[in-house]
Amino acid sequence: MKTLLIGANGQVGYELAARLAGADLLATTRSGVAPLDGVTCVALDVGDRGALRSLILDCRPDVVINASAYTAVDRAESESELAFRINAEAPAAMATACLEAGARLVHYSTDYVFDGTARSPYRTDSAVSPLGVYGRSKRAGEVAVLASGADVLVLRTAWVYGTRGQNFLRTMLRLGRERDELRVVDDQVGCPTPAWFVAAATAQLLERAAPAGIHHAVTRGQVSWFGFAEAIFVTALERGLIARAPTLVPIPSSAYPTPARRPDYSVLDSGGLAALGIDVPDWRDAFRHTLDRDGDALARLLG
């Protein structure tokens, strides 16, 4: 199966590249530099719709995986045009080219398409109502790819973390080294999801020829940011990744104002994955596995 992986430098893109390396894979990054040895990579700015279309039609892949996105949730509030270009117009162009090339498209979306007022896990068909520009741009991307007529899998994920990029795990470990006390929001709950799990779920959905449409690719269970921070420091101490943990203070979101509003309740129902026979780990097990797998890389980052 020939795969074109777009955006191989991000958290999820890198894990996909690592997983698919050795298979028939062409990756793209903005710079053209391969994310890891042994992966053939070309430069692509997905804002260039002409280049995007030519690449897909020249490459003639069986599958295009779009791991690129504009993910700066707060900055999106003042960069709406760019957010929509990357999160909606570019995926729309990818889907159109995939339809022409006869390729399946995998596209990622987010829990931020929901407003967080639910109190039971959001299903793939729950009503959407994004709170900010990022969520609206991602929803516009979902609508565009699903309406394109192409064979599209939309994987909504949430609270993604790993050893690369900007994420809560790395931020906590960095701040924990710099400060004695950290104030962490305790009234937003979600499903912390490692990037490796998103890549694994993607590969398994493709292997199982999963039905087109929306799928939720998150871990099981739920926790607040504060609870996740507690788990991070307890486990990092146990593993000897850090020598001391900061004092954690739970705070309400109102005490940590941000340009973009976030949903209070971001829990997605990943039962659809389980129904397809995909093992969906509890968030705590997934986190422990991440430290087993990537503890050395994190230790190097903490240097």
Q: Which active-site residues does the annotation give?
A: 134
Closer Cβ to ligand NAP, 129 or 245, answer by number: 129
Query: Does 265 participate in binding ligand NAP (rule CB under 6 A)?
Result: no
Instruction: Tell which one of 86, 154, 203, 291 touches ligand NAP (CB under 6 A).
Output: 86
* Residue 217 to residue 219: CA distance in whole angstroms: 7
**Taking the complex as a whole, how short is the minimal distance between the CB of residue 65 and ligand NAP, in angstroms?**
10
3-state secondary structure of 128: coil
DSSP state of 125: T
Window contacting ligand NAP (CB under 6 A); options: 66-74, 122-130, 199-207, 220-228: 66-74
Strand partners, 65: 5, 106
Window contacting ligand NAP (CB under 6 A); options: 62-70, 181-189, 202-210, 231-239: 62-70
**Taking the complex as a whole, how short is the minimal distance between the CB of residue 291 and ligand NAP, in angstroms?**
18
Contacts 24+ apart (CB under 8 A), 242-247: 242/173, 242/176, 242/177, 242/302, 245/176, 246/175, 246/176, 246/179, 246/180, 246/181, 246/182, 247/180, 247/181, 247/182
Query: Does 188 participate in binding ligand NAP (rule CB under 6 A)?
Result: no
Residue nearest to ligand NAP (CB): 10
Window contacting ligand NAP (CB under 6 A); options: 118-126, 142-150, 156-164, 172-180: 156-164
**Taking the complex as a whole, how short is the minimal distance between the CB of residue 215 and ligand NAP, in angstroms?**
13
DSSP state of 220: B
Q: Helix 225-238 to helix 283-302 angle, to the nearest 10 degrees?
A: 60
Q: Of 5, 301, 12, 6, nearest to 156 (Cα)?
A: 12
Closer Cβ to ligand NAP, 89 or 186, answer by number: 89
Strands 247-251, 151-157: pairing kind: unpaired
Alpha-helical regions (H) of the chain: 11-20, 49-59, 80-84, 90-101, 133-147, 168-178, 195-207, 225-238, 271-275, 283-302
**Taking the complex as a whole, how short is the minimal distance between the CB of residue 69 and ligand NAP, in angstroms?**
3
Alpha-helical regions (H) of 60-162: 80-84, 90-101, 133-147
* Residue 50 to residue 90: CA distance in whole angstroms: 10
Query: Does 70 participate in binding ligand NAP (rule CB under 6 A)?
Result: yes
Query: Does 4 participate in binding ligand NAP (rule CB under 6 A)?
Result: no
> How many residues in the shown chain lie near ligand NAP by CB under 6 A?
26
Query: Does 13 participate in binding ligand NAP (rule CB under 6 A)?
Result: yes
Binding mask 102-121 for ligand NAP (x = CB under 6 A): ------x-xx----------
Strand partners, 247: 181
Instruction: Tell which one of 3, 4, 5, 9 touches ligand NAP (CB under 6 A).
Output: 9
Query: Applying CB under 6 A, which residues contact ligand NAP?
Result: 7, 9-13, 30, 44-47, 67-71, 86, 108, 110-111, 138, 157-160, 165
